Structure 1
Amino acid sequence: MDFLVRLGLAVPLIQAPMAGTSTPALAAQVCNAGALGSLALGAIGPDEARRQIADLKSRTDRPFNLNLFVHATPQADPAGERAWLDALAPLFREHGAEPPAALETIYDSFAGNAAMLEVVLEAKPAVVSFHFGLPGPEAIAALKAADCLLLGSVTSLAEAEMSLAAGIDVLVAQGWEAGGHRGVFDPDARDDRLGTLALTRLLADWGKLPVIAAGGIMDGAGIRAALDLGAVAAQLGTAFIACPESNADAAYRALLASDAARRTVMTRAISGRPARCLANRFTEFGERPGIPPVPAYPRTYLAGKALNAAAKARGEPLYGAQWAGQGAPLSRPMPAAELVAQLAAELSLT
């Protein structure tokens, strides 16, 4: 399979889904510029997913990617969750608020989610991608019957082998450098923290599925390096955060444009799963010795979002989920279509 030919892509580039930051407008601009735009459905429900897909379709007739989270459904842990909320309470009170009374599962996994599967099948996207794991065989069969190309995010050869067995068509090799949530299938298992270049080369040498490189890539030279290692394309997320079409707020953009971009941290404290973030007051809290174990994803995220809202109301932006990869200092603010053209030009010169 020729990945670029099947999707009619002029540039070997995928805009990463980035739940909470990417928008239908961003995905459409990327698609119309000749790359593959992505819309994140993992943190929203079926009704909002339908609305956003309709918005995207009104802006482009090009192929696009719908991304879904396939995490394990969390179990409530009243004692552990109470300890976590108690640990956060001083931070809430510092900003004139109280923590939530209890944690909740704020959005559902795609695993076994018949309502969200129906939404995706109605949309008939050219591409469907998965993060955190793999859906069951019935969902994969239904999506393949709808002629969707299936992408699976992996961080190791073992996850790649599982993806092949499940029927995934293309691997997204997510390196340790990548911003946002780490795509490990089991967040409590040992993580070998393979970098993007090493992982891409390992999977390309394995040779059983096409590979898309993801993590730390910000320009045409980075895309070229990935292609030279055997990738069929590169997936960029942090590079698109500063685009005006993204949903990043002013504080997030300002941090990305400052010296703060030079330091990113992998943290569980904000959401309950490992995620790479610009170092801020929340990541500092997550590194404190003696804090309780972080509860499960996405239940922990309820408290993380509430704390950020309370802090922002008092003018403090440094409790946000300001996800960013290690290439963040290379960020360039410009419209998404211009960025795609710039990346394509840089790629042609390398």
Structure 2
Amino acid sequence: MFDRLKHRVVQAPMAGTSTPELAMAVCKAGGLGFVALGALDARNAAKAIGAVRQGTDQPFGVNLFCHAPARRDGAREAAWIDRLRPEFGRFGAEPPDRLSEIYPGFRGNDAMLSVLLAERPAIVGCHFGLPGPDQIAALKGAGCRLWATATSLAEGQAIKDAGFDAIVAQGYEAGGHRGIFDPDGPDARLDHLQLTRLLLPLGLPIVAAGAIMDRAAARAARDAGAAAVQCGTAFLRAPDAATPPAHRAALSGGRTVMTRAISGRAARCLVNDFTVIDDAEAADYPVAYDLGKALHAAAMARGHAGYGAFWAGTGAAASVERPAADTVLAISP
């Protein structure tokens, strides 16, 4: 699986900022590109996969969200709307009266499964948990290699027991959404080197992820036993990425925090107006994200970018504006 790669650098599937063009560029450079499907419906997922296929004959991966359905709580959602009402008021706007579950998970998503079985991407990655047994069997039967994100040994064991082919060891320093299976469960907050060493005895290839920004960090991960490294923040300034200008500019500040305020689920974001909001009573994921996106839109309509979901890892300040291919070469261990 990894022997076919010229460079053992995996481009993280970042919903909203990674693009088919970014995946193509990484693949052409000898790394492994990924297409993020978690925020797409089946029709647009097929289009994204098709776009990569037209641009490269190299193997690539796709990534899915496997979270449980949101726990709808009308009172809690109304309270969260009221909590953010003053933030909307800063821009002369009103929050929505009701919230929607904007990102359905892959579990039970027959339309998305049909797309994957038809397209047969080389790798199907999973975040927030695992698909159902029938989905796993179908994907394996179609010849797809299966990866899943782990933040603990228990999650790694579950991934192995489900018959997966590799584990992405997501350190606490990684940008974007924490892949923890149970968002309300305990989190040891291990960095990627600690987690890689912890998962190695399971016997599956480990892909280390979390603030890997240069060759020294990649070599340290490989020395710790990782088969490859996965990088997201390192690619955010690439011209092929869909990173908004305000997000790109904020990377140089480098300060990040973990917050649930934006989406309802823990995610590492560059410090901004949203990250200082107390997230203790946030609505469940992805319902809270519906409100977060509405607030960002209201702020942007008045020229204020401080409520963006500017996901980034702790190495954000070390990101470099350059073609994705150059980043692959700069990081390759």
**TM-score grouping bracket, smaller chain normalisation:** over 0.9
Find the aligned partners of 1:14 and 1:159 in 2 and give their Cα distance.
21
1:121 CA drift (Å):
1.2
Contact 2:156-2:202 within 8 A present in 1 as well = no
- Match of 2:212? 217
Matches within 5 A, 1:126-141: 126-141=122-137
Instruction: After TM superposition, give the deviation of residue 13 of structure 1 in Å.
Output: 0.9
CA RMSD of aligned residues (A): 1.0
1:39-62 CA-partner distances (Å, limit 9, x unpaired): 000111111111111111111111
Partner of 2:291 in structure 1?
303
**Residues 143-201 of structure 1 deviation map (CA, whole Å, 9 limit, x = unaligned):** 11111110010000000111111111100000000000000000001111111110011
Q: Give how far 1:286 is off.
A: 3.0
**3-state DSSP of counterpart to 1:167:** coil
Q: CA deviation at 1:253?
A: 0.5
Give the Cα separation in 2 of the matches to 1:109 and 1:286: 26
**Higher helix proportion, which one?**
1
Letter in 2 for 1:238: T
- The corresponding residue for 1:158 is 154
Match of 2:87 among 80, 87, 91: 91
Indicate the SS of the match to 1:30. helix
In the alignment, which residue of structure 2 is the partner of 1:124?
A: 120
What CA deviation, in whole Å up to 9, does each residue of 1:116-148 have, x standing for no partner? Answer: 111111111111100000001111111111111
Asked whether 1:9 is paired with 2:2, we answer: no
Determine if the alignment matches structure 1 residue 332 to structure 2 residue 327.
no
8 Å CA contact retained: 2:264, 2:284: yes
**2:164 and 2:105 mapped to 1: Cα distance?**
18
Check if 1:53 corresponds to 2:53.
no
In the alignment, what sits opposite 1:190?
Answer: 186
Q: Secondary structure of the residue that 2:179 maps to in structure 1? A: coil
Name the % identity. Answer: 54
Contact 2:129-2:181 within 8 A present in 1 as well: yes
* Structure 1 residue runs without a partner (length 5+): none
Whether 1:228 aligns to 2:223 is yes
What is residue 145 of structure 1 aligned with on the other side? 141
Could you tell me whether the CA contact under 8 Å between 2:234 and 2:320 is conserved in 1?
A: yes
| C-alpha distance in 2 between matches for 1:31 and 1:217 | 18
Q: Which amino acid aligns with 2:95?
A: P
Cα deviation 1:290-328 (Å, max 9, x = unaligned)? xx6111100100000010111111111110000000111
CA distance in 2, matches of 1:19, 1:286: 24
Instruction: State the alpha-carbon separation in 1 of the partners of residues 154 and 257 from structure 2.
Output: 25
- In 2, Cα distance between equivalents of 1:235 and 1:39: 13
What letter is aligned with 1:267?
T
- CA shift, 1:278, in A, is 0.3
Distance of 1:85 and 1:148 partners within structure 2: 41
Secondary structure at 1:282 match in 2? coil
Residue 4 of structure 1: CA displacement?
A: 1.5
Secondary structure of 1:218's counterpart equals coil
Q: Deviation digits for residues 20-71 of structure 1, max 9, x if unmatched?
A: 1100000000011100000000111111111111111111111000000000
1:316 match: 304
- Is 1:41 paired with 2:41? no
261, 264, 269: which one pairs with 1:269?
Answer: 261
Residue among 241, 244, 251 paired with 1:249: 244
**Residues of 1 paired with 2:309 and 2:222: CA distance?**
31
The unaligned stretches of length 5 or more in structure 2 are none
Q: State how many pairs are aligned.
A: 333
After TM superposition, the score normalised by the length of structure 2 is: 0.98
Matched, 1:280 2:272: yes
The letter for the 1-side match of 2:256 is T
Counterpart residue identity of residue 321, structure 1: A
Amino acid at match of 2:241: S
In structure 1, distance between residues paired with 2:314 and 2:306: 18
